[in-house]
Amino acid sequence: MESHEQVVSSATLACRAPYGSAMIDPIVQNFWSQIAGRHDSEAFAVLDAAYREPHRAYHGWGHIVDMLSKLDQLSALAVRPDLIAAAIFWHDSVYLTREPNGHPRTDPENVRDSVLLFERHSRFDAMEQAAIHDIIMATANHMKSKAKKEHYPGFSGDLDFFLDLDLSSLAVSWPVFEQNLENIRFEFHWAPEQDFYLGRTKMLESFLGGGDKLFRRPETRALWLAPARENLQRAASDLNQKMACSA
pLDDT digit string (tens) for 128-184? 999 999 999 999 999 999 999 999 999 999 999 999 999 999 999 999 999 999 999
Domain assignment of residue 183, yes or no: no
- Domain tally for the chain? 1
- From CA 56, how far away is CA 186, in angstroms rounded? 8
Domain membership of residue 243 (yes or no) is no
143 assigned to some structural domain:
yes
Q: SS in 3 state form for 52-120? A: CCCCCCCCCHHHHHHHHHHHHHCHHHCCCHHHHHHHHHHCCCCCCCECCCCCECCHHHHHHHHHHHHHH
- Higher pLDDT, residue 210 or 9: 210
Positive/negative CA dihedral, 203, 84, 178, 51: negative
| Mean predicted confidence (pLDDT) in 105-122 | 97
In a domain, 226, yes or no: no
Tell me if 166 is assigned to some domain.
yes
> Whats the size of the chain, residue-wise?
247
Domain that holds residue 142: 4-173
pTM above 0.85, yes or no: yes
Cβ neighbours of residue 62 closer than 8 Å, sequence gap 6 or more: 8, 11, 12, 14, 15
Give per-residue pLDDT as tens, 68-80: 999 999 999 999 9
Residue 147 placed within a domain: yes
Q: Is residue 123 in a domain? A: yes
178, part of any domain: no
